[in-house]
Amino acid sequence: MDRIKIIGGNKLNGVIPISGAKNAALPLMIASLLTADRLTLKNVPNLADVNLLARILRNHGVDLAVDGKRPGTTPHLGETFHLTARDIVDTTAPYEMVSRMRASFWVLGPLIARMGQAKVSLPGGCAIGTRPVDLHLDGLKALGAEIEIDAGYVIAKAPRGGLKGGRIQFNKVSVGATHQVLLAAALARGETIIENAAREPEVGDVAECLVKMGAVIDGIGSSTLRIQGRDRLEGAVHAVLPDRIETGTFAYAVAATGGDVTLEGTRMDLLETALAVLPQIGATVTPTNNGIRVVRNGKGIEPISIETQPFPGFPTDLQAQLMALVTTAHGTSVIRETIFENRFMHVQELARLGADIRLHGDTATIKGVPKLTGAPVMATDLRASVSLVIGGLVAEGETMINRVYHLDRGFERLEEKLTRCGAAIERISAG
């Protein structure tokens, strides 16, 4: 199993290109199930989760072609996928595939909508809380789907004549359930209204792509989506939006280590709340022609109090990275996690580096320490693993991060991007 070795203490200076957003690329790939035509997606990140979903879609009968390199293109530019689901040959998504990644469960809605039936394993993926799928199933039932659960599988059928529009009001904001119902509603007869829909930019990106494919959607970016379903959808060409979580992660890494880095190919409007904390802790953020510049001032890090919220609030996917950043602040920071239970698994590993963190229910109190010291640590999930990278970059001496396969699920060329900016980081392969 690969490990990552970091020698901390180097400031980051240079340019880091930001990849396409994993959390948009996955549902966009799944949208290919809704049409017999070709869907072309640009700026797709090369990640373990993307490659796994490609396998799942191929199992359903989706043809996937990936453009090769072109002369003069930057190696960090995302890949271009051409997906064609002319014939869906299998409406079953088996346990051995779905259990490895939660987002693959979202094939359920499109399969019911287009094929009238589906058998999809209940999901696995990251070990963060329970994350029940009830909201997904209730949303699909509101469109007329008949659903039963048997031996760990969701077995679903559309009524005669296919799914029909309905009104869905989620009792809590769920990005996954919003994606699920949005995708299904695009092929449902009549109008579907989703109330208390997730407002994350990735949801908006999927909606914009569905519009290009022929769906009529009002309220994109708001908490109420109105979808006029179509009998069939067409192919389209769509570029995946920049990854706001990767943007925030590298911005926090610069703030933690010191330095001056331009994050290329990203947008401030995607994560205004997350970037707003940086001036408070002692870093400046300025827009550039093609991205964002982050500069740490010469003084120390100031403490912060924050709680995670659905978009446009502070993202839960940056909570662990922010915690790593404030471990060496001058004072005490407070972080409250309101989205996912059990999302503090990185705390004990940061403590191995010398961080002083106390947990009480959904709240972490981080008392700043003068320095962190390198140590062997273990990644427990995707966001936790990258918080350990930030901790390792700050710590004195050597930090060895084990179980880095979590990183490969969500960060493209992480070591390479950081090395280009002066970090002493390398992957040690197991083989």
* Catalytically annotated residues: 126
Distance separating alpha carbons of residues 305 and 314, to the nearest angstrom: 11
Which residues, at least 6 apart from 53, have a Cβ–Cβ distance to it below 8 Å? 26, 29, 30, 101, 103, 104
Residue of 415, 364, 420, 359 lying closest to 392 (CA atoms): 415
